[in-house]
């Protein structure tokens, strides 16, 4: 098999390795030509298999979207409004919301122009706007807003609990998850890795650095009977033994010392299938899986940048840039894309197995892991913002700078790539695949577009106002289905895609 091994600029070598934790990230301009395997870092979980190159790894298992449940469905809560997939012979469940084909919720219900939106299993509509959280319950004429909950209880700022809020996702009926952004960790005296925090009893421990654990991350919030919201818990429970009893937010499950997931950039709730109710969040570092109030962090497609020094020694830097792209495939696979790479993960039934990195094997293998070689080199940012799979099986990725790209795997680590033609802009912020086989495309500057199931026919959706489409949320458990479209003009809901 042909190896990708060679130099990048002067004294730089790129290698590829799957890993669980990353060190400091180094930016490089020159695209790599080759790759070779390399060692892990102190925060890595040892693999039972040798490193795998980013080369042809053989034909991957075929991912056939089935859309079926595939197993038992977790309890969706007690609310009678919870949308579920009807049993055979039962009438479709339209849910509690209007069934108009297109409805402007900002005008009809006064939801304004929130930053992020989400639906929980009870079909309560959650809204996030800076330091306030709104809930529009079925039957309400307008949302109820609550200010200063959880990480937003103090004014936002670099030295506060959070710089800002980012996303909101529904959970079980009456619960939502709110993500926040925190400043990147800085190196401290005596500590080699930027993201390492000594605990009590460790060398170089200080209360000030340990307090960094409390910044950013994710809140679970609860809906009250009067429509207000309270903090349920700042997420901290995880499956790793080293984390037991430590209420210090989200950090590496395999070793609590590594504080690598500080900013939540995206979230998605699994709406059907045997893992219905699971939540995935992407961060400045990777993708974390959450069940209820317990998480396992994290997974990411990463690669090593090796710098050769004049004396012949080599410095290593594992590249794990921020991860915005997140989707759930029709068959339940988890689709992730950071600034440079993308991956398709197959989740297992056990939360504790999420971070067990064994490349193509093990309980949570990569179905695909690679980068778009038709667009850029490994070291160049592709600025992926969305990742979806349509019912045809084709993958689509949206870039904030380079448009929409279709991909079909030709091996586990390489794909056939083609850019979607016909869009008036290359600036893409959101994608959503729907059950009718279509792909909805949210642009930054040209509104909402729909790609038909044929993968060719493309047209703007003129009924949705706004030029910047920042978020698309699909709820397939009601009939007609709901597609939430968040733009710079507010929230519009489409029924029936």
Q: What's the CA gap between 19 and 465, in Å, rounded?
A: 42
Per-residue pLDDT reduced to its tens digit, 408-455:
999 999 999 999 999 999 999 999 999 999 999 999 999 999 999 999
Torsion angle (degrees, nearest 10) of CA 303, 379, 259, 358 = -20
Q: Which of 74-88, 104-118, 384-398 has the lowest mean pLDDT?
A: 74-88
pLDDT of residue 311: 87
Mean pLDDT of 372-394: 96
CATH of 12-495, one of 1.20.1250.20, 2.130.10.10, 3.90.79.10, 1.10.579.10: 2.130.10.10
Q: What pLDDT does 16 receive?
A: 37
- Give the least confident one: 33-42, 285-294, 307-316, 425-434: 33-42
Q: Flag whether pLDDT at 46 surpasses 90.
A: no
Question: What secondary structure does DSSP assign to 71-113, as a single string?
Answer: SPPPP--S-TT---PPPTTSPP---SS---SEEEHHHHS----
Q: What is the pLDDT at residue 132?
A: 98
Q: Is 234 a residue whose pLDDT tops 50?
A: yes
Distance CA 436, CA 452 (A): 9
Q: What does pLDDT average to over the chain?
A: 85
Phi and psi torsions of 106, nearest 5°: -65, -35
Domain ranges of the chain: 12-495
Question: Which is higher by pLDDT, 295 or 46?
Answer: 295
CB of 259 within 8 A of CB of 195? yes
- Per-residue model confidence (pLDDT) at position 452: 98
The residues, ordered by sequence, that sit 6+ positions from 483 with a Cβ below 8 Å of its Cβ are 432, 434, 440, 472, 473, 474, 475, 493, 494, 495, 497
User: Per-residue pLDDT for 221 more than 50?
Assistant: yes
Query: How does DSSP classify residue 3?
Result: -
């Amino acid at each position: 098999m042909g190896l990708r091994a060679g130099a990048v600029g002067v004294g730089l070598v790129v290698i590829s390795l799957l890993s669980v934790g990353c060190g400091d990230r180094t930016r490089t301009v020159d695209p790599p030509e080759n790759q070779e395997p390399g060692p892990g870092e102190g925060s890595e979980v040892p693999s039972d298999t040798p490193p795998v190159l980013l080369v042809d790894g053989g034909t991957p298992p075929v991912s056939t979207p089935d859309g079926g449940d595939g197993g038992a469905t977790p309890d969706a809560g007690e609310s009678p409004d919870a949308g579920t997939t009807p049993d055979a012979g039962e009438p479709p469940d339209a849910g509690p919301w209007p069934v108009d084909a297109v409805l402007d919720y900002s005008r009809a219900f006064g939801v304004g122009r929130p930053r992020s939106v989400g639906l929980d299993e009870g079909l309560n509509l959650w809204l996030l706007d800076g330091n306030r959280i709104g809930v529009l319950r079925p039957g309400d004429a307008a949302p109820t807003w609550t200010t200063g909950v959880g990480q937003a209880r103090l004014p936002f700022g670099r030295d506060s609990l959070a710089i800002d809020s980012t996303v909101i996702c529904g959970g079980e009926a009456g619960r939502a998850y709110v993500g926040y952004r925190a400043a990147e960790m800085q190196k401290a005296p005596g500590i080699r890795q930027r993201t390492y925090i000594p605990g009590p009893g460790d060398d170089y421990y200080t209360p000030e650095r340990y307090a960094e654990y409390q910044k950013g991350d994710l809140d679970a919030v609860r809906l009250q009977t009067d429509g207000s919201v309270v903090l349920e818990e700042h997420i901290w429970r995880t499956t790793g033994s080293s984390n037991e009893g430590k209420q210090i937010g989200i950090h590496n499950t395999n070793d609590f010392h590594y504080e690598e997931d500080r900013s939540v950039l995206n979230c998605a709730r699994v709406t059907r299938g045997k893992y219905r109710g699971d939540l995935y969040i992407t961060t400045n570092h990777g993708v974390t899986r959450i069940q209820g109030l317990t998480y396992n962090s994290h997974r990411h497609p990463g690669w090593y940048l090796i710098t050769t020094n004049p004396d012949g020694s080599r410095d290593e830097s594992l590249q794990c840039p921020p991860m915005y792209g997140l989707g759930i495939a029709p068959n339940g696979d988890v689709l992730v894309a950071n600034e440079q790479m993308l991956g398709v993960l197959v989740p297992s039934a056990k939360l504790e197995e999420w971070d067990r990195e064994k490349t193509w094997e093990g309980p949570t293998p990569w179905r695909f892991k690679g980068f778009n070689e038709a667009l850029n080199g490994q070291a160049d940012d592709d600025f992926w913002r969305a990742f979806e799979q349509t019912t045809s099986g084709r993958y689509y990725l949206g870039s904030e700078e380079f448009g929409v790209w279709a991909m079909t795997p030709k091996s586990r680590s390489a794909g056939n790539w083609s850019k979607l033609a016909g869009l008036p802009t290359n600036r893409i912020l959101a994608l959503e695949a729907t059950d009718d086989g279509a792909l909805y495309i949210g642009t930054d500057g040209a509104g909402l577009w729909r790609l038909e199931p044929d993968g060719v026919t493309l047209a703007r959706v003129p009924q949705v106002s706004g030029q910047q489409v920042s978020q698309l949320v699909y709820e397939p458990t009601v009939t007609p289905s709901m597609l939430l479209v968040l733009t710079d003009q507010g929230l519009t809901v489409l029924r029936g895609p």
